[in-house]
Structures are given as C-alpha cells and as structure tokens.
Amino acid sequence: MLASAIDGIRLSLHVLAAAIWVGGQITLAGLVPSIRRLSPEATKAAANAFARLSWPAFAVLVLTGFWNLGAINMSSQSTAWKIVLGVKIAVVVISGLSAYLHTKAKSTVGLALWGSIAGVSAVATLVIGVFLAN
C-alpha cells in the first residue's frame, strides 16, 4: 500500500536524519586519515563542521522517532517488536552518549574507544530501525 503524505514526511525525515548521523560518521572516519595527512589542525575543523550537522540530525531522529511511535498502533505490534524497540532505544542512548564522549575525549585511547562504540552503535540503530519498519 502507498504511504500517506504525512507518513512519507515522517519516515523521510527519520531516514534522512539517520543518513546524516550514521552515514556521516562513516564518511568522516574515512576522510580523517587523508585530512590529517594534509593538515593535522584541519581534522578538528572537519569534526566541528560535522558536529554542526550531526547533532541537529540526532535531535531530528529522536523527535521523529517519538513521532513514529505516535503513528504506530502499539496494541497491534508483537511482543518481539516491542522488545526490539526497547533494545533500539537503549542503543540510541549509547549512540548519543558515546558520540558525545568521543567529542570530549583527550587521549588517543579515549578517542578510539568512544569513536568505535559510536560507530558500531550508530550502525546498530539503523539496522534495528529497518527491522521495526512496518
């Protein structure tokens, strides 16, 4: 069945924000070694520029995520769907928290640890989201 206009807007916003939050982290991780080779200071500038896009995208994900919940008939969802939703919300918290701690890390170990947790949890939220899509 074709989605209604409002469902199209809701899901397009959610997926566009996911593309920025998740795809942006992967893209930045791929670009950083080349940027660092050109100029070590430019890495920070690129990270700051990405943060100006990624945090608003994360806010849009949380807002449209709750909009998704409002648009779904909860009583018709299976227990498995509800459990997966709970797991997703926990992974979203890990995704946001680890990305924040990555931006605050000073040591190489801290940057690598929180950066990798942020990357893995961001991809996990996307995959879990696809399983939730009706």
Binding residues for ligand HEM, total number by CB under 6 A: 24
Q: What CA–CA distance (Å, rounded) separates 10 from 67?
A: 7
Of positions 95, 98, 99, 115, contacts ligand HEM by CB under 6 A = 95
Candidates 28, 60, 65, 119: give the one binding ligand HEM (CB under 6 A).
65
- Contact 74/104 with Cβ under 8 angstroms? no
Element spanning 19, H or E: none
DSSP, residue by residue, 48-85: HHHHHHHHHHHHHHHHHHHHHHHHS-GGGS-HHHHHHH
Query: Using CB under 6 A, which of 20, 28, 61, 118 touches ligand HEM?
Result: 61
Q: What's the DSSP call for residue 1?
A: -
Nearer residue to ligand HEM within complex by CB, 35 or 94: 94
Among 20, 21, 50, 98, binds ligand HEM (CB under 6 A): 21
**Contact positions toward ligand HEM, by CB under 6 A?**
11, 14-15, 18, 21-22, 61-62, 65-66, 68-69, 71-72, 89, 92, 95, 125-126, 129-130, 132-134
